Amino acid sequence: MKEISQLNLPQNVRFTEDHEWARKEDGAIRVGIDDYAQDQLGDVVFVELPQVGDTFAKGDAFGSVESVKAVSELFMPLGGEISAINKNLEESPELVNTNPYEGGWMIDVKPDDPGEFDALMTNDAYLEMLKGL
């Protein structure tokens, strides 16, 4: 397990309490799990994603990510409609471990309320939260 100082927590994304990240990407919000989450989970073997067109509210479970011995649910950082899913994860779930912020992205969301994105934690706030855990 990595130490907090070893974690990769980029400046250009926002974070949630559930260790997910969100980033504006071509008019949608792109979501994935962060370096802390993938490190805790270990080797990812399967990612269960919703279908394009599904809609969720902020906080709803939209899918799950599995290692050999554990399952973690994934929660919407904001409400909206799924506009895209990362199909590469079906063949290569390990992208979540090797490249959580780029190749390992999970869903794109068309947000209902842009304010929900702005309310997410910045890099600094998230770091503080981790230190308190």
Partner 1 sequence: MTDTLGTTGLILNEPLLWEKGCKGRRGYSLPRRDVPVSSLDPDLTGSGPDFPDLSEMDLVRHYTRLSTWNFGVDTGTYPLGSCTMKYNPKTNERQAGLPGFAAAHPLLPPTLAQGALALMHDLQRYLAEITGMDAVSLQPAAGAHGELAGMLLIYAYHRSKGTQRSKIIIPDTAHGTNPASAALCGYHPVPIQSGAQGILTAEAVAAVMDEETAGIMVTNPNTLGLFEQNIRQITDIVHAKGGLVYCDGANMNAVMGIVDLKAIGVDVLHLNLHKTFSTPHGGGGPGSGPVCVHNRLEPFLPVPRVIKEGDTYTLSEEFPQSIGKLDAFHGHFGVMVRAYSYILSLGPDGLKRASQLAVLNANYIKEKLKGTFHLPHDRPCMHECVFSDKNQGSYGVTTLDMAKRLMDYGFHPPTIYFPLVVPGAIMIEPTETECKEDIDRFIDAMQEIAREAAENPQLLHDAPHNSKVRRLDEVAAARKPCLKG
Partner 2 sequence: MRYLPHTPEDVADMLAQVGVESLDALFATIPKDCCCRLDMKLPRALTEWELDDHMDALASRTAVSPDFKVYMGAGSYDHYVPAAARHVLARSEFVTSYTPYQPEISQGTLQAIYEYQTLASRLMGTEVATASHYDGSTALAEALLMAIRVTRKKRVAVSAAVHPHHRRVVETYFDPTGYEIVELPYLTDGRTDLAPLDSLEDLAAVAVQSPNFFGCIEDLQAAADATHAEEAVFVASFTEPLAFGLLKNPGSLGADIVCGEGQSLGLPRSFGGPGLGMLGSRMKFVRSLPGRLVGRTQDTDGRDGFVLTLATREQHIRREKATSNICTNNSLCALTAAVYMAALGATGFRELAGLNHDKAEYLKNSLAQAGFDAPFSSPTFNEFVIRFPGDFDTLYGRLLENRIVAGLPLAKYYPELSDCTLLCATETAGKSDLDNLVKEVRS
Query: Which residues ranging from 45 to 84 are in contact with partner 2 (CB under 8 A)?
Result: 45-46, 48, 66-71
Judged by CB under 8 A, how many residues of this single chain contact partner 2? 9
Q: Which residues have a Cβ under 8 Å from the Cβ of 79 and sit 6 or more positions away? A: 55, 56, 57, 58, 60, 111, 112, 113, 116
For 58, list phi and psi in degrees, rounded to 5: -60, 135
**For residues 33 and 19, is the Cβ–Cβ distance under 8 A?**
yes
39 belongs to the binding site for partner 1 (CB under 8 A): no
Query: Which residues ranging from 78 to 97 are in contact with partner 1 (CB under 8 A)?
Result: 93-94
**For residues 100 and 116, is the Cβ–Cβ distance under 8 A?**
no
CB of 34 to partner 1, least distance (A): 21
What is the arrangement of strands in the sheet containing 28-33, beginning at the earlier edge strand? Answer: 14-15, 20-25, 28-33, 107-111, 80-85, 55-56
Is the Cβ of residue 69 or residue 87 nearer to partner 1 in the bound state?
Answer: 69
Is the Cβ of residue 78 or residue 96 nearer to partner 1 in the bound state?
Answer: 96
Is the Cβ of residue 65 or residue 106 nearer to partner 2 in the bound state?
Answer: 65
Interacting partner of 70 out of partner 1, partner 2, none (Cβ under 5 to 8 A depending on kind):
partner 2
- Judged by the rule CB under 8 A, the positions of this chain that interact with partner 1 are 43, 45-46, 66-69, 93-94
